[in-house]
Amino acid sequence: MTLKILTLFPEMFTNFFNTSIIKRALDKDLFKVEVIDLRQYSHDKHHHVDDTPYGGGKGMVIKVDIVKEAIDANKSKNTKILLTSPRGYKYNQQKAMALAKEEEILIICGHYEGFDERVLNYVDEEISIGDYVLTGGELAAMVISDSIIRLQKGVLAEGSYEDDSFQTGLLEYPQYTRPQVFDGVEVPKVLQNGNHSEIRKYRLYESLKLTYLRRPDLLENYNLTKEEKEMLEKIKKEALQNK
């Protein structure tokens, strides 16, 4: 997979691609990255990429001709082109899993007031990372890149992300490590007894409980097994009693 990032602030990506798991994956050639400076496609000697909005109003709008030239110069037949935008479709793990299969992705980072609307004619998808507004698309591009890179084969140890929140459709169960007792709170006994069947049931129950209490919306699209249905009934009863 090749990731291309089109930005006015390439320097923001230096630490991101040179730290921890992402750096190791890059060093091992598990993905390739190109951070491209949008200003090199500017048409004037001051490297302007934006202009005032038609119809008036505050702020500057990134020009369509410049973005189109940058896209054309950096895309190939199989490039998926993503535009970061608070107005885009909300990003999630399902989208990360789908994008992780792409051969090449170009992520375009906005700034100022965003883009001339006509930029949308040259992109495949507009993606928002959440219902808030950032000053620029760089953090959004990092979020998207990180979530895709960790799904590439060889980046994480085999089996590391399969139980992660959202991957299964549920939130992940609670995790513990040493010490066994801290500040009077002991690690649940079931996790200490080495009985894998009990541990699996405990984790599934806790996963369902957290999802039901915090993100019931996730359960709407989740196909419960018979075992999970029974667990959920118990969780609902418990929740009612604790009200």
Ligand X SMILES: C[S@@+](CC[C@H](N)C(=O)[O-])C[C@H]1O[C@@H](n2cnc3c(N)ncnc32)[C@H](O)[C@@H]1O
As a whole number of angstroms, the distance between CA 93 and CA 99 comes to 10
Site size toward ligand X, by CB under 6 A: 19
86 is catalytic: yes
- Among residues 8, 50, 86, 145, which is the contact residue for ligand X, using CB under 6 A? 86
The least distance separating ligand X from the CB of residue 112, rounded to whole angstroms, comes to 6
Residue 224: half-sphere exposure toward Cβ, Cα within 13 Å: 17
Binding mask 92-121 for ligand X (x = CB under 6 A): -----------------xxx-xx-------
Phi-psi region of 20 (alpha: psi -120 to 50; beta: other; left: phi over 0): left
Q: Assess whether 37 carries a catalytic annotation.
A: no
- Position 128 contacts ligand X (CB under 6 A): yes
Segment near ligand X (CB under 6 A), from 49-57, 65-73, 124-132, 158-166? 124-132
Of 39, 150, 203, 215, which residue is the catalytic one? 150
In the complex with ligand X, the residue whose CB is nearer, 113 or 146, is 113
Q: How far is CA 121 from CA 19, 37, 64, 71, 114, in A?
A: 35, 21, 10, 11, 15
* Cβ(123)–Cβ(108) below 8 Å: yes
Stretch near ligand X under the rule CB under 6 A, chosen from 6-14, 81-89, 117-125, 192-200: 81-89
What count of residues does the chain have?
243
CA 202 to chain centre: 28
**Residue 137 makes contact with ligand X by CB under 6 A:** yes
- The reply on whether position 7 binds ligand X by CB under 6 A is no
> Binding string, 19-38, against ligand X, x = CB under 6 A?
--------------------
Q: By CB under 6 A, is residue 140 in contact with ligand X?
A: yes
Q: Which residue from 129, 191, 232, 235 is in contact with ligand X, where contact means CB under 6 A?
A: 129
Is 154 among the residues that bind ligand X (CB under 6 A)? no
Among all residues, whose Cβ is closest to ligand X? 110
Asked if residues 138 and 9 have their Cβ atoms less than 8 Å apart, the reply is yes
- CA 117 remoteness from chain centre: 24
The letter for the amino acid at 47 is H
How far apart are the C-alpha atoms of 78 and 152, rounded to whole Å? Answer: 18
74: contact with ligand X by CB under 6 A = no
Which parts of 45-91 are beta strand (E)?
50-51, 61-62, 79-90
Active site residues: 86, 113, 150, 164
Chain residues in the site for ligand X (CB under 6 A): 84-87, 109-111, 113-114, 128-130, 132-137, 140
